Amino acid sequence: MKKQVTRIPFDWTNKTVLCTGGTGSFGRVFVRSMLDEQKAAKVIVFSRDELKQHEMRVGGFDDPRLRYFIGDIRDRDRLTRAMKDVDVVVHAAALKQVVACEYNPIEAVMTNVNGSRNVIDAALDSGVSRVLALSTDKAVNPANLYGATKLVAEKLFVQGNAYRGDGPTRFACVRYGNVVGSRGSVVPLFAQQREHGELTVTDPNMTRFWLTLDQGVKFVVGCIEQMCGGEVFIPKLKTMNIVDLANAMAPECRIKTVGIRPGEKLHEALLSDEETARTLDVGDKYVVRPAHPWWPEGAWPDAVPVPADFSMVSNTAPDRLSVDELMNMIRKAA
């Protein structure tokens, strides 16, 4: 018999929260939100770079509720130690650069796949109640190794629910597009190139889904509060052509086309064709249900299935960012 869902209001003020990759672009904004907005009881930053942790601490992240753990998600024992008495885990650590993952494929697998398994195992062994992993549109019909490793990681987190038995741990994922202003984003690159009068784009027809770090963090927080376990959450995002972005940021500059890099797509998708039949519209987001018998009864009872021909591809998505909207996003990210 399937389990019934009973939703209980989520109180962050008595929760201990751990964020892997906590010194990254997302991690820093997420930690700040946990401290200032959700007012979590304790927040643990888990990352492998002592310098970034030091810079974060002296840069204003010195709240008494904060703990800094040096560790690598490749080390399951260290994760288990860090997750002692933790209630919520947000898994943001990953190797994310497409070109770097193509050149270092084993390293990408060790971190993005094996590391994700370690997070799952440590959370199960430690009795963590909710674990949410960050994914990417590149996991949909992947064309590069980075996307392939994130697809595997998604599958691991969704299926991780099958291992919990009667335990408290539940797993889910969020999947979204390009983050304006994050490390490795094209926005800082364009800002740097603007000083020299020429911006480089890979292909003038390229399109992408966009959101800000603040939007991403708010989305993650809301999904943690609502998750039943097994969902892949997808926000409703707008798209923009890469040349429109370049012209918006530097209308006075020349644009040089340099060609698509290995493993790069012309357009990105947030939903695969196979997932459409399992996708629900829940108002401000989409929920991809798992196709497995442990999905609980009563999960998302007010949701509406998407149409059979529904798709989320960046070049055909109906909602486009205006120049003003995008520039406002860039200003907020600065």
- Residues labelled as active-site residues: 138
SS3 126: helix
Alpha carbon 94 to chain centroid, angstroms: 10
**What is the radius of gyration, based on Cα positions, of the chain?**
20
Alpha carbon 22 to chain centroid, angstroms: 13
φ, ψ dihedrals at 241, nearest 5°: -70, 145
Which burial class, exposed, middle or buried, applies to 153 when counting CB atoms under 10 A from its CB (0-12, 13-18, 19+)?
Answer: buried
> Which amino acid type is present at position 21?
G
CA atoms of 30 and 37, how far apart (whole Å): 10
**β pairing state of 198-201 and 304-305:** unpaired
Number of neighbouring beta carbons within 10 Å of residue 40? 22
Tokens of 314: 């960046």
CA atoms of 214 and 25, how far apart (whole Å): 10
Q: Which of 114, 112, 118 is nearest to 134 (CA)?
A: 112
> Which amino acid type is present at position 61?
F
HEC secondary structure over 227-274? CCCCCEEEECCEEEEHHHHHHHHCCCCEEEECCCCCCCCCCCECCCHH
